[in-house]
Structures are given as structure tokens and as C-alpha cells.
């Protein structure tokens, strides 16, 4: 009987010594597993509101395809990534109509260089954006003309390689202003268009042009991007001024 009592006391002593360590380990593990925003532990996951989306930023390219190293101070801010969370969509402030999201978790996206808010979520760079900031959605590891699509009333336009127009034998350079200052090209061929923009009453306004059309658009409109080392611009439907059919 005495031996059993001694054994029981020993077991209780071991358990009492182990429990604090076990609890401390669990607290440490919970801290490691917890979500963090800008280095601070938060409860639960980040949940975007309205038409906001949370994008995990694609790492900056450290070298060119030719193998040349790009120093840190020469790297452009990454403007693409993968959506990790989306809001439920926004409501029109007057009609109350709900605009559904046109992007989903897991989509790879390109967005404007200066759009959104940067944050560190779980020690990884993220960008918090409005869905209107998303220029293109694409599948695969790299955005290419053949695998990108526009959302809403965005239009992807391929810019001419040689920005010159022959009019009556006179060569006019379209990227030079009256005072010789450079400006962005104002014309090109439509590659793809979005489904259109939904207005306050829920009606869908479809784009005014389609793939293959030649268009001229407002000066300085849209955002220029590079796809397959060629220049493109993403504009909105209301930026289109005139269109015509491309030569066969």
C-alpha cells in the first residue's frame, strides 16, 4: 500500500512538472501558427470587405531573361500576384444594387503600378485592391496575350511597333507632342474586351468594340503593360474615341 502511494505521488509530481511546459509549448505553437498583419498577431484571417481583394504579390524579378542581374534599387515594384481572398461585392450607395465580384480566389492578376495598399500578411507582401484596379486576369505562371482576359469594361489594346503614320507622303510620329515631348500612343488593335460594366440599375453596358477592331483612344488613357516583350495598354470603354476595321 505504501509503495502504491509513493508511486502515485511520483506520478503527480511528474505531471505537475510537465503541464506548465506543455502549456508553454502550446502557447508558443499557437503564436507561430497565428495570422500576423504587419508583424502583429491578429485573431482569425483577413477578410476583405465590399469589392476589395487581397492579392499575394508575385516576387520581384531579380534577373532578366538574358541572365543579367538587376540590383534591388532598379527593380520595379511587382504589379501582379494571386488573389487569396475577396470581398462579397459592393452595393450602390443610392439604389442598393449589389455588384457581384468578377474575380475569384486563386486568380492570377495584373494591377496598376500605384494602385492599392501594401501590407505584410503572415510575413509575405500583399496588396489590398479594389476590383476596379485589376487590369487583367490570367491562367498559368505568366501573363501572355493568349491567356489573359479583361473584366468589367476594360479593353486590352496592342500598340503599334512603329509609331508612325504616312499621311499624303508626310511621316507623322504619334508619340511626339507639339513641343517635341513624348506622349503615349493613342491607337492600336483590340486584343480582348471584358463583358461590360454593370450600372446602378443592374443593366449591363457592353463595350463599344470587339477583338480585331482598330481604335483610337484618349491621350494618356489607361495603363501600359508588357506581354511577351511587346507593348500593350489596358483602357476603359469610355476612353475609346473612334474605331475602324483592320486591313485584311
**In 3-state terms, what secondary structure has residue 122?**
coil
Average pLDDT over residues 104-115: 94
Burial status of residue 83 (CB atoms within 10 A of its CB: 0-12, 13-18, 19 or more): buried
**Looking at the predicted structure, is the pLDDT value of residue 13 above 50?**
yes
Task: Give residue 17's pLDDT.
Answer: 61
Residue given cell 491567356 in the structure block: 147
CA distance 148 to 192: 8
Q: Which three cell numbers stand for residue 228?
A: 511577351
> In this structure, what are the phi and psi dihedrals at residue 103, rounded to the nearest 5 degrees?
-130, 160
Task: Give residue 49's pLDDT.
Answer: 96
Helices vs strands, H then E, count in the chain? 1, 21
Average pLDDT score, the chain: 82
Q: Given the DSSP bridges, would you call strands 197-198 and 204-205 parallel, antiparallel or unpaired? A: antiparallel
- The CA-based diameter of the chain, rounded to the nearest angstrom, is 116
**Looking at the predicted structure, is the pLDDT value of residue 199 above 70?**
yes
Q: CB–CB of 141/132 below 8 Å?
A: no
**Looking at the predicted structure, is the pLDDT value of residue 143 above 60?**
yes
CA distance 176 to 173: 6
pLDDT tens per residue, range 20-40: 554 444 444 444 568 999 989
**Looking at the predicted structure, is the pLDDT value of residue 170 above 50?**
no
Task: Give residue 171's pLDDT.
Answer: 42
Range in 56-65, 203-212, 227-236 with the lowest mean pLDDT: 56-65
**Looking at the predicted structure, is the pLDDT value of residue 140 above 70?**
yes
Q: CB–CB of 53/103 below 8 Å?
A: yes
Q: Which three cell numbers stand for residue 118?
A: 501594401
> In this structure, what are the phi and psi dihedrals at residue 148, rounded to the nearest 5 degrees?
-100, 155
CA distances, 4 to each of 1, 12, 207 (Å): 5, 12, 86
CA distances, 247 to each of 44, 53, 189, 211, 244 (Å): 57, 40, 11, 14, 9
Domains detected in the chain: 36-143 (2.30.33.40), 150-248 (2.30.33.40)
CA distance 115 to 119: 13
Task: Give residue 10's pLDDT.
Answer: 65
Amino acid at each position: 500500500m505504501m509503495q502504491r502511494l509513493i508511486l502515485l505521488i511520483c506520478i503527480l509530481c511528474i505531471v505537475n512538472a510537465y503541464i506548465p511546459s506543455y502549456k508553454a509549448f502550446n502557447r508558443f505553437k499557437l503564436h507561430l501558427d497565428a495570422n500576423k498583419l504587419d508583424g502583429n498577431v491578429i485573431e482569425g484571417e483577413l477578410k476583405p470587405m465590399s469589392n476589395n481583394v487581397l492579392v499575394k504579390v508575385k516576387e520581384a524579378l531579380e534577373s532578366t531573361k538574358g541572365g543579367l542581374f538587376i540590383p534591388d534599387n532598379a527593380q520595379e515594384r511587382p504589379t501582379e500576384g494571386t488573389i487569396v481572398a475577396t470581398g462579397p461585392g459592393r452595393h450602390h450607395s443610392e439604389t442598393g444594387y449589389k455588384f457581384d465580384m468578377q474575380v475569384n480566389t486563386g486568380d492570377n492578376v495584373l494591377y496598376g503600378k500605384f494602385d492599392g495598399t501594401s501590407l505584410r500578411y503572415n510575413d509575405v507582401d500583399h496588396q489590398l485592391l479594389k476590383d476596379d484596379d485589376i487590369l487583367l486576369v490570367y491562367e498559368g505562371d505568366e501573363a501572355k496575350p493568349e491567356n489573359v482576359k479583361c473584366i468589367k469594361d476594360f479593353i486590352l489594346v496592342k500598340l503599334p511597333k512603329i509609331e508612325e503614320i504616312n499621311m499624303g507622303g508626310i511621316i507623322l510620329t504619334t508619340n511626339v507632342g507639339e513641343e517635341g515631348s513624348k506622349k503615349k500612343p493613342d491607337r492600336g488593335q483590340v486584343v480582348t474586351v471584358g463583358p461590360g460594366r454593370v450600372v446602378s440599375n443592374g443593366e449591363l453596358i457592353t463595350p463599344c468594340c470587339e477583338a480585331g477592331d482598330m481604335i483610337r483612344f484618349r491621350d494618356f488613357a489607361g495603363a501600359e503593360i508588357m506581354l511577351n516583350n511587346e507593348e500593350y495598354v489596358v483602357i476603359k470603354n469610355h476612353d475609346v474615341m473612334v474605331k475602324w476595321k483592320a486591313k485584311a
